[in-house]
Amino acid sequence: MPAAVPERGAGVPEQSVGAPEQGAARSATPPDTALGEAMRQLAWYRKARNRAKLAHQSSELLALLTTSATVLVSALRAPAAVTASMAALTLFLTGYRQIFKPNERWTRTSVAWLTLHHEITRYLHRPPAERNGDALLERVMEITMAENRDWVEERGHDGGPAPS
């Protein structure tokens, strides 16, 4: 039975990376380095996806709250400094969302994670003798390079911070 691919949002179980088939001795089966690399990339994209999701949802919620609070404090005739501070915070959050684009980052990392997940699933559902580690590794590299290229192109078009 092939090693399990982690479910959405689940951690990557260490025993699934390069785990031998059931009934086989651990020392008799060489580690599957291509699968190990694919699983490492999958874990990285899962973490990046989750961070981007949190950043996106937090910035959207804070922008909604500060915008609403600005209107509320103005209607309550709060001092001008309070109203201006709330408006400034809203403006800051708008700039953050335009520069760092957490929604786009969330989308890109989710697509990369899902594509890697599908590739690993296809690989693991083949009989061990038919698995092509080189092909899997090539697909992993294609997926990560495409995501990185999209990120660099986006940074170049919007005048955002240059990649470091």
Q: Residue 126: pLDDT above 50?
A: yes
One-letter amino acid at 66 equals T
The pLDDT assigned to 162 comes to: 56
The pLDDT assigned to 161 comes to: 56
**pLDDT digits 0-9 by tens, 33-77:** 999 999 999 999 999 999 999 999 999 999 999 999 999 999 999
What six digits make up the tokens of 60? 């959207």
The pLDDT assigned to 125 comes to: 97
Q: Which among 100, 97, 86, 81 has a CA at the least distance from the CA of 151?
A: 100
How high is the mean pLDDT of the chain? 85
The pLDDT assigned to 6 comes to: 47
**pLDDT digits 0-9 by tens, 101-123:** 999 999 999 999 999 999 999 99
Q: What percent of the chain has pLDDT over 70?
A: 77
The DSSP annotation for the chain comes to -PPPPPPTT----GGGTTPPPTTS-GGGS---HHHHHHHHHHHHHHHHHHHHHHHHHHHHHHHHHHHHHHHHHHHTT--HHHHHHHHHHHHHHHHHHHHH-HHHHHHHHHHHHHHHHHHHHHHHTS-GGG--HHHHHHHHHHHHHHHHHHHHHHHHHHT-PPP-
The pLDDT assigned to 156 comes to: 79
> pLDDT tier at 28 (50, 70, 90 boundaries)?
low
The pLDDT assigned to 158 comes to: 58
The pLDDT assigned to 154 comes to: 83
d(Cα 82, Cα 3) in Å, to the nearest integer? 57
Q: Residue 97: pLDDT above 50?
A: yes
